[in-house]
Amino acid sequence: MLIGYMRVSKADGSQALDLQRDALIGAGVETEYLYQDLASGRKDDRPGLAACLKALREGDTLVVWKLDRLGRDLRHLVNVVHDLTGRGVGLKVLTGQGAAIDTTTAAGKLVFGIFAALAEFERELISERTRAGLASARARGRKGGAPFKMTPAKLRLAMAVMGKPETKIGALCAELGITRQTLYRHVDPQGNLRTDGEKLLQSAG
């Protein structure tokens, strides 16, 4: 069964939902299975979404117009879809940047897997910056320091972007906080795993 969810950022009248409603119905969602919220996506209290998620059953697919209609941010979105996947529920995005996501297909699962790796990387990056700030405060005037090590999230991100013509290795290493040597110990220039990379992912479970 297809179940649809739609949301506008401000409660500015029913007209704001017409485009989403038409798109969801056009995708095969029946009107009685449409849920909606008129509040901002950053508000935790979204009764429409809560009811929608509660109504979903194994084998159902949640359909949204755009990816930003569903999640408050990337981490919230990943957590919602992770929960849905664990319940055997799919997600399909009709338009926008997330239109390639359809977790009922192999290709869609791959795209969302990259999103999940980015969210994990974001969490680790914040944690590392916090630790770096504490270390800097303790060191008082000490410059530089050893780069942070490779982590599973960084490795998955490197695998996703290595081999693409637009990827600049120096910029990638700077963003990940690792050296070129560390990068190439784990993946080859095409993004394929090397022995150290395989060991790292195996240890992460």
- Against a cut of 0.75, is the pTM above it? no
Number of domains in the chain: 2
Q: Are residues 13 and 60 in the same domain?
A: yes
Active-site residue identified among 9, 40, 127, 136: 9
Q: Are residues 7 and 86 in the same domain?
A: yes
Q: Are residues 88 and 122 in the same domain?
A: no
Q: Which of 81, 104, 127 is the last residue of a domain?
A: 104
Q: Are residues 119 and 81 in the same domain?
A: no
pLDDT category, 62, cuts 50, 70, 90?
very high
Q: Are residues 142 and 87 in the same domain?
A: no
Q: What is the mean pLDDT of the chain?
A: 79
Structure confidence at residue 54 (pLDDT)? 93
**130, 124 Cβ separation under 8 angstroms:** no
127 tagged catalytic: no
Residues 96-132 pLDDT 10s: 766 767 777 777 666 666 666 666 666 666 666 666 6
pLDDT category, 203, cuts 50, 70, 90?
confident
HEC readout, 160-201? HHCCCCCCCHHHHHHHHCCCHHHHHHHECCCCCECHHHHHHH
Quote the domain boundaries for residue 57. Answer: 2-104
Q: Are residues 10 and 98 in the same domain?
A: yes
Q: Are residues 93 and 35 in the same domain?
A: yes
Q: Which of 104, 130, 151 is the last residue of a domain?
A: 104
| pLDDT average, residue stretch 42-57 | 84
Q: Where residue 52 sits, what CATH number does that domain have?
A: 3.40.50.1390
Structure confidence at residue 12 (pLDDT)? 43
Q: Which of 46, 72, 104 is the last residue of a domain?
A: 104
| Positions of E strands within the chain | 2-7, 34-37, 61-64, 90-93
Separation between Cα atoms, residue 154 and residue 160, nearest integer Å:
10
State CA 143 to chain mean position distance. Answer: 34
Q: Are residues 73 and 130 in the same domain?
A: no
Q: Are residues 69 and 135 in the same domain?
A: no
Residues 129-149 pLDDT 10s: 666 666 666 665 544 444 568
State CA 102 to chain mean position distance. Answer: 13
